[in-house]
Amino acid sequence: MSPFNDFRVGYVVKRYPRYSETFVVREILAHERAGLDIEIFSLRPCNDGHFQDLIARVRGRVNYLYFPSEGSMPEALSSSTILASHLWSAIRQAAEFLPNVWSALDEARDEKARDIYQALALAVEIQRKNIAHLHAPFASDCCTIARLAARFAGITYSFTARAKDIFHRSVRSDDLRRKLRDAAGVATISNYHLNYLRQTYGPLAKHVMHVYNGLDLNEFLYRSPEDRPPVVLAVGRLVEKKGFADLVDACVLLAQRGRDFQCRIVGAGSGRAELQARIDQHDLGDRVELVGPLPQNEVARLMHSSAVLAMPCIVAEDGDADGLPNVIQEALALGTPVVTTDVTGIPEVVRHEQTGLQVPQRDPTALAEALDRLLIDADLRVSLAERARQLIDSEFNIHRNTERRRAMFRAAVHGCHTMQEVG
């Protein structure tokens, strides 16, 4: 018998499925394997042209938040405003299911009309589907709507605060304070994030707990990097915070040294044209390739045939930064050494000269030097990889880490609000 027969959890996400958010899918899959019944609620339709094969293994139903009587999303909802008639209709219809709606609307007075609309739709679905708790894997729009819907429906909610939810200059501190105040549970993905939240938000963040994203290590088989071709791999969205422009510049320096190597950058994003122009400018087309997005199994195959993963992350001009890129954990689990920077929580997994190499942000010279070391020194690759795999096994096991999240859900549903009781 499942230990979770007494409640169901709704995951509220902005878009589902999303190619770049495999960590959310892994989290859901781990919950389902443990017997937790998950229902997925997506605020927007999927707009990706590529999908990870993990998606097919999720059993939970995906619901797109159109109001039940509409049949399809009103045209106004796809813009920045929603018609008053749509909103009033949504309130009246929700009130038929949820008598608390009228009094709870006071909590929504500072929110956008479209968010209130979708929160009302979600609250009705909560009632219909017997959802006991909502969880938002981010503290952004999906958490805004989870918070309102939980209030309308009279249930609890929790969320995970990730890097963009905390450090980006668009973050509204008053909004995050309100979410921290009202949530029955909050997780964040590194000790760096946890310390920042507690220093910035004081007692409101006292109940936040640190839970790393995790991997099912049975699916990430370790292979020694001793005998690898001179390939530098990079994986991620082609955006400023990934630091791939610095990687291209480091490749220029490696080429000038006469180093025999190939660099493959996997991913898609708004920065592709700029990166390609940089590659062309330095006549690196025979060495550096923008591969485009690939499914997880293809990325793993490339990692097993690469000498090093380069993740030269930076804090972008708008404050956006990676928290702890999941691709780093994946590479270390597979036995591929990593060169990265000291951005946010990354040093918690890539410990310099122990489980990987760190270089300063925006320093192509230091990056080239670290890459060169790993391209030519097989013994260094092996020693770093062995220690890194041990760390991943002890700290990033998805079954142990998602059990802590389930304990948070269980505590919320059963009215226990102190994290000491969550374990």
- Give 339-377 pLDDT, tens digit per residue: 999 999 999 999 999 999 999 999 999 999 999 999 999
User: Regarding predicted confidence, which is higher, 354 or 296?
Assistant: 354
Q: Record the tokens describing residue 211, joined without a space.
A: 């839970």
Stretch 210-237: mean pLDDT? 96
Stretch 122-134: mean pLDDT? 95
Residue 170 and residue 311 share a domain: no
Q: Radius of gyration over alpha carbons of the chain, in Å?
A: 23
Neighbours of 282 (CB within 10 A): 16
Residue 98 and residue 34 share a domain: yes
Let me know if residue 233 belongs to a domain.
yes
Rounded distance between C-alpha atoms, residue 194 and residue 172, angstroms: 18
With beta carbons less than 8 A apart as the criterion, state whether 239 and 321 touch: no
For residue 236, what are the domain limits? 217-395
Q: Which of 20-29, 48-57, 240-249 has the highest mean pLDDT?
A: 240-249
Residue 277's contacts (CB-CB under 8 Å, 6 or more residues apart) are: none
Residue 155 and residue 28 share a domain: yes
pTM: 0.89
Per-residue pLDDT tens digits for 85-101: 888 888 888 888 898 89
With beta carbons less than 8 A apart as the criterion, state whether 157 and 123 touch: no
Q: What is the percentage of the chain residues whose pLDDT exceeds 90? A: 76
Residue 196 and residue 122 share a domain: yes
Secondary element (H or E) of residue 201 = helix 191-201
What phi and psi values does residue 55 have, to the nearest 5 degrees? -55, -40
Per-residue pLDDT tens digits for 177-202: 999 999 999 999 999 999 999 999 99
Q: Record the tokens describing residue 379, joined without a space.
A: 């013994």
Looking at every residue in the chain, the average pLDDT score rounds to: 91
Let me know if residue 3 belongs to a domain.
no
Residue 236 and residue 160 share a domain: no
Q: Specify the 3-state DSSP secondary structure of 62.
A: strand
Per-residue pLDDT tens digits for 133-181: 999 999 999 999 999 999 999 999 999 999 999 998 899 999 999 999 9
Residue 235 and residue 187 share a domain: no
Domain count, the chain: 2
Let me know if residue 221 belongs to a domain.
yes
Rounded distance between C-alpha atoms, residue 66 and residue 43, angstroms: 8
Residue 210 and residue 268 share a domain: no
Q: Record the tokens describing residue 236, joined without a space.
A: 């991620």
Let me know if residue 1 belongs to a domain.
no
Residue 295 and residue 192 share a domain: no
Q: What pairing do the DSSP bridges indicate for beta strands 288-292 and 357-358?
A: unpaired
Let me know if residue 22 belongs to a domain.
yes
Residue 251 and residue 130 share a domain: no
Does 277 score more than 70 pLDDT? yes
Residue 239 and residue 311 share a domain: yes
Residue 102 and residue 34 share a domain: yes
Q: What is the CATH number of the domain that holds 313?
A: 3.40.50.2000
Stretch 107-126: mean pLDDT? 91
Residue 164 and residue 249 share a domain: no
Q: What is the dihedral of CA 213, 214, 215, 217, to 10 degrees?
A: 160
With beta carbons less than 8 A apart as the criterion, state whether 17 and 46 touch: yes
Q: Record the tokens describing residue 204, joined without a space.
A: 């409101």
- Say how many CA atoms lie within 13 Å of 165 toward its Cβ: 26
Does 210 score more than 90 pLDDT? yes
Residue 328's contacts (CB-CB under 8 Å, 6 or more residues apart) are: 309, 311, 338, 340, 346, 349, 350
Question: What's the confidence (pLDDT) of residue 417?
Answer: 44
Rounded distance between C-alpha atoms, residue 12 and residue 41, angstroms: 5
Let me know if residue 349 belongs to a domain.
yes
Q: Which amino acid is at 382?
A: V
Rounded distance between C-alpha atoms, residue 402 and residue 177, angstroms: 25
Stretch 261-287: mean pLDDT? 97
Let me know if residue 324 belongs to a domain.
yes
Give whole-number Cα distances, 366 to 56, 155, 176, in Å. 41, 51, 37
